[in-house]
Amino acid sequence: MKLLIDMNLSPEWVKVLGDKGYEAVHWSSVGNPCASDHEIMTWAKDNEYVHFSHDLDFGAILAATKARGPSVIQIRSQDINPHHIGNAVASAINQFKSHLEKGALIVIDEAKSRSRILPLR
């Protein structure tokens, strides 16, 4: 599974997720740091990446457009340091891997993770 780390998350996530066996790139290494959310979503979908963000806009875009992809993982935590919540993220990715491969919005906080299959209704 390939993960695209959003600009609002530290590039440290690339190493943390890589160490857990995931291919991950930070948006700043593949696209314009000032790109619109739509451009980032299009790139992720075209290149078969799951978009990983702390920004609620991506879930809203999926809902408004009734899109079937790309899959999006959202962190809903005050502490988004990969060393703090990295294990919870990896656990959620493993738990919902089949959902992410088909198209899903995964929301992760410190207490629980949940999945919604795309398109959102």
The parent domain of residue 43 ranges over 2-117
Tokens in use for 73?
Answer: 């993982």
Q: How far is CA 45 from the centre of its chain?
A: 12
Cβ burial of 79 (10 Å; 0-12, 13-18, 19+) is exposed
Under the banding of pLDDT at 50, 70 and 90, the label for residue 121 is confident
Q: How far, in Å, CA of 76 to CA of 37, rounded?
A: 18
Q: pLDDT digit string (tens) for 42-96?
A: 999 999 999 999 999 999 999 999 999 999 999 999 999 999 999 999 999 999 9
Q: pLDDT digit string (tens) for 2-26?
A: 999 999 999 999 999 999 999 999 9
Q: pLDDT digit string (tens) for 101-114?
A: 999 999 999 889 99
**Full DSSP string of 8-45:** TS-THHHHHHHHTT-EEEEHHHHS-TT--HHHHHHHHH
CATH of the domain at 36: 3.40.50
Position 13: which residue type? Answer: W
> What is this structure's pTM?
0.96
**Number of domains comprising the chain:** 1
